[in-house]
Chains A and B, each alone.
Chain A
Amino acid sequence: MITFLLKKAEKKFNLYDAMTGMSEIIRRTFVNNSFDGALTMLGVLLGSYVAGIDSPLLVIKLGLATSIAVGISGLTGALFAESAERKRQLKEMESALHRNLDNTEYKKAHDTATILTALMDGFSPFIASLIILLPFFLFSQGDIGVAYQASAVLSFVVFFLIGAFLGRTSGDSMLFMGLKLMGAGLFCMAVILLLEGIG
């Protein structure tokens, strides 16, 4: 029964994907926004570290607020932008077909694409940033220095994995792309530490 439902859902997804090209958009959104979320969280943690915050609970509160903000920002931003873009495409198609497309598979496909893109836009930065914050939950009673170090390592693991995924998508070297995104993270880290150091 579950296999049957999954196959049916997969068939529907493939049909809607053919009509809207949503898998490409969702993939791009995943990479863009998870990197965005991870980098934002790294920035928040570096800021907390430089500011000398030594309470894990405070870092968790700051981090959670950031995760929720990037998640909601991604979700609502994508929902409004994507639905406006899809509406425009639908109107153009209606004019080309000389008919209204309400209640058609075509409209459902575009609505599904909008919702899935918005969900990916919201959840990918939320999850990526939460992963980086995870050590502060685990070491909430222990040494905060370990949590800072573990989070920094975890953020570079996340950067590498996003880069590797990008490499797999483009057919380039997964290692090279992973290192490239780690380099972007390193650059961000250096700029923050330099500016904060000067300040």
Chain B
Amino acid sequence: MSGIKRLVLDVLIPNNMPIDELSLKLSTTKGVEGVDILIQEVERKVEAAKITIEGDHLDFAAIREVFDQTGASLQSVDRVTCGKRIVG
């Protein structure tokens, strides 16, 4: 059985939180093989980021835990990719 291979998340990050730290924390989470953080909008207090995470069996609860611990705020799950082959 194959698990989640790719997640695209809409996340709000405090604008003085270093995103390299956040991406490194995400990349060391169980099942994660690659992370991409794209800042889409910079507001006065926060930055809206599109975070793409790839791996073979992504553990969504563990990923969510990283956001809970750091102080980032998961707004929505925009895309989930599962199955033997990545579609799209």
Contacting pair A20 B71 (CB below 8 A): no
Which residues of the partner chain B approach A92 to less than 8 Å between Cβ atoms?
45
How many B residues are at the interface, by size bracket? 10 to 19
A19: nearest residue on chain B (CB-CB)? B16
- Assembly CA distance A155 to B88 (angstroms): 72
Instruction: Decide: A18 near B12, CB < 8 A? Known: A97-B46, A104-B68, A106-B71.
Output: no
Decide yes or no whether A157 CB sits under 8 A from chain B: no
Instruction: Decide: A18 near B71, CB < 8 A? Known: A92-B45, A93-B45.
Output: no
CB distance from B69 to the nearest CB of A (A): 6
Which residues of the partner chain B approach A146 to less than 8 Å between Cβ atoms?
none
Interface flags for B38-73 (1: CB within 8 Å of A; 0: not) read: 000001111000000000000000000000111111
Contacting pair A97 B16 (CB below 8 A): no
- Assembly CA distance A21 to B18 (angstroms): 12
- Assembly CA distance A98 to B77 (angstroms): 16
* Residues A73-111 near B (CB distance < 8 A): 92-93, 96-99, 101, 103-107
Which residues of the partner chain A approach B16 to less than 8 Å between Cβ atoms?
18-21
- Assembly CA distance A103 to B70 (angstroms): 9
Tally of contact residues, A, Cβ under 8 A: 17
CB distance from A165 to the nearest CB of B (A): 26
- Assembly CA distance A93 to B72 (angstroms): 10
Pick from B12, B18, B44, B69: contact of A104, CB under 8 Å: B69
- Assembly CA distance A167 to B67 (angstroms): 41
- Assembly CA distance A21 to B16 (angstroms): 9
A15: nearest residue on chain B (CB-CB)? B21
Pick from B17, B44, B46, B68: contact of A19, CB under 8 Å: B17
Instruction: Decide: A15 near B18, CB < 8 A? Known: A93-B45, A97-B46, A104-B68.
Output: yes
Contacting pair A96 B12 (CB below 8 A): yes
Contacting pair A96 B45 (CB below 8 A): yes
- Assembly CA distance A132 to B30 (angstroms): 57
Contacting pair B14 A99 (CB below 8 A): no
Known A18-B18, A107-B71; further 9 A-B contacts with Cβ < 8 A = A15-B18, A18-B16, A96-B44, A97-B73, A99-B73, A104-B70, A104-B71, A105-B70, A106-B17
Binding site for A on B (CB under 8 A): 12, 14, 16-18, 21, 43-46, 68-73, 75
